[in-house]
Amino acid sequence: MSNYKTSEQYGHALSHIHDSGFAGVAEAAADMLISTLKASGLTHGRVTDLGCGSGILARKLLDQGYAVEGVDQSVAMLALAQSRAPEAVFRHESLLECEIAPSIAVCTIGECFNYLFDRNNDEAALDRVLHRVHQSLEVGGIFLFDIATPDRIIKAPPKQFFQTQNWTTLVENIHSETPLMMTRKISSFVRAGEYYERVDETHHLRLINPNMLAHRMTTLGFEFEMFDCYGPTPLPAGCIGFCAYKRNIPEPG
């Protein structure tokens, strides 16, 4: 029998690895969100972070005087978020189902719309979240997010490895055409005293067509720009970011 374990998605080990080794995108997204909010005159109010992870963005927003509500499906991520950003409100829910309170901004950073952790994730479910985000935002409010697109199939290396003093992570990216999916097999070796503990997770991601999404965003009443970096920090290859504003639609009549 093998002596390593598979765990829930973003269990304890991988949550710590994400937090200590992959914080750069969330930090850069937070900086972009703060400057966009300030440029729009939105200096206070609630920001909702769907797929908040370990609270990296929450901490930065709180430090600028914003209130933050975060939602995530990982208990381990939420524990990290709670200790980093105790002034925020965190909820253990699926972002596909959760209620979104009235907000000046909503963000979803780090391919959160792509994960198939919630098996109900499909085009219709994504459509419903976009609709709820739009309803929750005040006019002029900001929706900042990124997605993994089908280009991830060409651009993501088939195998990657990452190493620090305390852990090593090996990632194998496997693609399937029908349905259009990317499977990430992640094996992590985490230092535990003089030994290393091995933890495996497998993540399935539904790849999202950015043009179809852009069309849907326009239909809903968003104006937006698409980009491939949060300020100086590039998004992973094959990902696209959206910075959207809720348009002021005149009442009929």
For residues 210 and 215, give the distance between their C-alpha atoms in angstroms, rounded to a whole number: 9
Phi/psi for 83 (5° steps) reads -80, -30
Residue (116 or 221) nearer to ligand SAM, CB: 116
Phi/psi for 78 (5° steps) reads -65, -35
Applying CB under 6 A, does 26 fall inside the site for ligand SAM? yes
**For residue 221, which amino acid is it?**
G
Selected binder of ligand SAM within 48, 94, 149, 173 (CB under 6 A):
94
- End-to-end alpha carbon distance in the chain: 71
How crowded is residue 121: how many other Cβ atoms within 10 Å of its Cβ? 20
For residues 180 and 207, give the distance between their C-alpha atoms in angstroms, rounded to a whole number: 6
- Nearest approach, Cβ of 50 to ligand SAM (angstroms)? 7
Output the residue with the shortest Cβ distance to ligand SAM: 53
The residue count for binding ligand SAM (CB under 6 A) is 23
The sign of the CA dihedral 243, 18, 126, 83 is negative
Of 18-26, 31-39, 136-144, 157-165: span binding ligand SAM (CB under 6 A): 18-26
Distance from CA of residue 197 to its chain's centroid? 27
Binding pattern to ligand SAM, positions 113-152, x when CB under 6 A?
Answer: --x-xx----------------------------------
User: In sequence order, what are the beta bridge partners of 239?
Assistant: 148
Selected binder of ligand SAM within 16, 59, 100, 110 (CB under 6 A):
110
Residue (18 or 134) nearer to ligand SAM, CB: 18
Binders of ligand SAM among residues 46 to 85 (CB under 6 A) are 51-53, 56, 71-74, 77
Token pair, residue 64, equals: 């600028």
Contact residues toward ligand SAM (CB under 6 A) are: 10, 18, 25-26, 51-53, 56, 71-74, 77, 94-96, 109-112, 115, 117-118
